[in-house]
A and B are shown apart, each in its own frame.
Chain A
């Protein structure tokens, strides 16, 4: 009995920070309809700021004031972000908002690195709560008990704020009735700012509160984000009781996981999530209409048509020139061009999913990294030749997409985005914890191409053939019946269904197709680099692809590969600077607020104006 109780208590203590971050995310979403992907960053900031304050404020009073002040400071930073950035994108499609919040993630990451340095910070112990108490013979840290008591207090305070104050009434009204928000007029801006600040303050508070347990490090933004998404999906977006219930459930399951299944703690919570999702697609206490529509807002794109002969001849010539690169380019140029081609295929696959199917996946790296690992594992453990590995990489990634798509497509809109991200992170953690089999954080190295393809020039040509072939295939699919059916489902799903299109099956097929193409890119990547590390599965990799699609332009046919080429070349240049994430983040914010049509879209608009 004792050990089980102790574990439940640990779970309850862990639920504290999770609940605060999740409820903040939920609140913000309820009022502004923005899924704040930067919410983990505010949590991280809370931890770092709290840590600094604890260094200067002495004693018990200092400790608790530091936590409170950290929350307030993060709230203020949140208000700043809302006023400067988010206000400009409320009217934009949801995807733009998500990408804008991702720009914030990048900037916060580099700022934290600049200010606090790369090393993990050990959290100070809470004065007066250092030891353990024995409950049924089991040691339970006193600070855990404090957290168990504090969390419901915060929840109660939040509940009182929401039900008893004028601000709370507005928040609830806005959450329940979208029309109401418009009628608020001037108040609306401050309601949005206030809610965003409150949500961020909660995240900051959570980050500071968990300092004695977990300290502060630069990975904690993505770590918490995954758990929070799981919590929100399980509890139901926009429901505070749901957030509390799910935080406790997920935390307790997590603690038991550590004991019984230490290899894959995260996997266990995912099993719980999938089970809940099968049973209630909108979460335990969620409501259907909250899921929202995603993707196509704004004027519809023009009907697409296959390129005419002049363009085709031009493209063919350009491809010939590109294929001949080894004849005139330097060794470095050939290697860089190989990388760019691979990345273009990866980006084009996501662009297909987003542009044609209107599915905003935030975990596309799962298939890129999945294909890469499939190839590497086949070579390492089965002694597969390169040719076979390159064939099986897209197949494995396609199978993976089939499985993930089955679950993720039960949800739609923001839930879908969160689920794809969560699954990618699950895969990442499986590989990370995979020990000798996956190489863990050491990755798999020494995976080289077959001897005939080993010279850089030959491998470049192989990559060229497969990537250009893949990109052309994706592009052609947009002109084929599949592309039309997908766009029909995207433009107007009820109309598509009433014409006999099985919308979900179409989306599933698109998800699998795009996943397989990303897997091909991943397979090529392994042989180009000779190695693969877990960071090919990271959230950051998924976001790279997403940013690229943006950079290129969603509502264009060429946006994927154009953005990919510019991005990969740009990153090659950017990463020579120390704080390149910061720069990238600023570029992202610039695109989202100033040139939302992307490179291809902006160029096209410019061309149209010149012609007139």
Chain B
């Protein structure tokens, strides 16, 4: 079976800095993969290129067999890629349910319509999605007043509203309590199992990575230095060195 996502030799430079430097990998449909690496390794930049938010300096991205390099984000979303942001992105002037309803509206492309009341559209679907991420009881609160962890879950619901075939999650659990993290990751992986959705996520919490990812890729200074099952990556000497180098506790890697 051909790969769902095929990244070939992708690079992005900022001046002399090689934020992403010749990265190649493939994802098959249904994969749940983690992308780890120290701060500044280039994870977010890689996501930006996959979504069309930043143009690569070189390299190609194929999705579902078609080349998507250089397409605008809105186009790439239509092909079936969705994402959440490291700095949580929601729409602060709307209620929680309206956030998801708006994402549904965007998904079925009815955004130029000025006739119906939007708050009556997609209400059920929005409630179902909020239920999935555990926010049903907050549906009618303004998004602006949500706690940080709830915002993360709201953004997940927004992303899921687009029914992506590939979901990119940039540090989806950062700033959450430990139990919340597990809940959220279990929700996403369950959806992935049920719908065949593919997941690529970045994460700093090694417990989360090793508990939920089938395979792990390690990025360091823009380059992929390791790829394999959690066990393989944990045992990899270079990976240990990288984490030692930036002062992270290597025990965290070993104990997890």
Residues of chain B contacted by A303 (CB below 8 angstroms):
93-95, 98, 142
Checking A301, A495, A500 against B74 with a beta-carbon cut-off of 8 angstroms, the contacting residue is: A500
Residue pair B74, A501 in contact (C-beta under 8 Å) = yes
Q: Cβ of A492 < 8 Å from any Cβ of B?
A: yes
Within 109-161 of B, Cβ neighbours of A (below 8 Å) are at 109-119, 121, 142, 144, 155, 158-159, 161
Q: Which B residues touch A278, using CB under 8 A?
A: none
Question: Which single residue of chain A is at the shortest CB-CB distance from B144?
Answer: A300
Taking beta carbons and an 8 Å cutoff, which residues of A are in contact with B?
299-306, 473, 476-477, 479-485, 487-488, 490-492, 494-503, 506, 509
- Can you pick out 9 interface pairs between chain A and chain B where the beta carbons lie within 8 Å of each other? A300-B92, A300-B93, A480-B116, A484-B98, A484-B101, A492-B89, A492-B90, A497-B72, A509-B112
Q: Which residue of B lies closest to A498 (CB)?
A: B83
Contact status B105-A485, CB under 8 Å = yes
Does B207 count as interface, using CB distance less than 8 angstroms?
no
Q: A484-B102, A488-B94, A500-B74 are in contact. List 4 more A-B contacts (CB 8 A).
A: A303-B94, A498-B77, A500-B107, A506-B111
Note all chain B residues with C-beta closer than 8 A to A500: 74, 77-78, 106-107, 109, 162
Find the B residue at minimum CB distance from A485: B111
Q: Are A480 and B113 in contact (CB under 8 A)?
A: yes
User: Closest residue of chain B to A501, judged by CB?
Assistant: B106
Assess the A479–B119 pair: CB atoms within 8 A: yes
In the assembled complex, which residues on chain B have CB atoms less than 8 Å from the CB atom of A302?
A: 93, 142
| Cβ 8 A contact of B53, one of A306, A481, A484, A497 | A497
Q: Closest residue to B103 on the A side, CB-wise?
A: A499
Complex formed: what's the CA distance from A301 to B91 in Å? 11
| Nearest Cβ on chain B to A155's Cβ, whole angstroms | 28
CB distance from A512 to the nearest CB of B (A): 11
| Set of chain B residues within 8 Å of A485, measured between Cβ atoms | 102, 105-106, 111-112
**Interchain CB contact (< 8 A) of A480 among B72, B98, B106, B117:** B117
* Residue among B95, B111, B119 with max Cβ neighbours from chain A (10 Å): B111
Which 3 residue pairs across A and B have the least CB separation, nearest first?
Answer: A495-B89, A485-B111, A300-B92
User: Is the C-beta of B85 less than 8 angstroms from some C-beta in chain A?
Assistant: yes
Provide the residues of chain B in CB contact with A480, threshold 8 Å.
113-118
Given contacts A303-B94, A484-B94, contact A477 B114 (CB under 8 A): yes
Chain A residues in 8 Å Cβ range of B142: 300, 302-303
Report how far A492 CA is from B87 CA in the complex, Å.
11
Q: A491-B91, A491-B93, A494-B89 are in contact. Are A476 and B106 (CB under 8 A)?
A: no
Distance to closest chain A CB from B133 (angstroms) = 16
Provide the bound-state CA to CA distance between A509 and B112, in Å.
8
* B51 lies within 8 A of A498 (CB): yes
Q: Which residues on A sit within 8 Å (CB–CB) of B98?
A: 303, 484
Give the distance in Å from the alpha carbon of A498 to the alpha carbon of B48 in the complex.
10
B70 at the interface (CB under 8 A from A): no
Q: Which residues of A contact B172 (CB under 8 A)?
A: none
CB atoms of B114 and A473 under 8 A apart: yes
Inter-chain contact A481/B105, CB cutoff 8 Å = yes
> Is there contact, CB below 8 Å, between A495 and B78?
no
A487: chain B residues within 8 A (beta carbon): 91, 93-94
Max chain A Cβ within 10 angstroms of own Cβ: one of B106, B119, B155 = B106
How long is the Cα–Cα vector from A484 to B121 in the complex, in angstroms? 11
Question: CA A299 – CA B93 in complex, angstroms?
Answer: 9
Shortest Cβ gap from A491 to chain B (Å): 4
Residue of B nearest to A492 (CB): B89
B105 partner residues in chain A, CB cutoff 8 A: 481, 484-485
Report B-chain residues with C-beta under 8 Å of the C-beta of A509.
Answer: 112
B95 to chain A: which residues have CB within 8 Å? 303
B176 to chain A, nearest CB (A): 19
Contact A488 B91 (CB under 8 A): yes
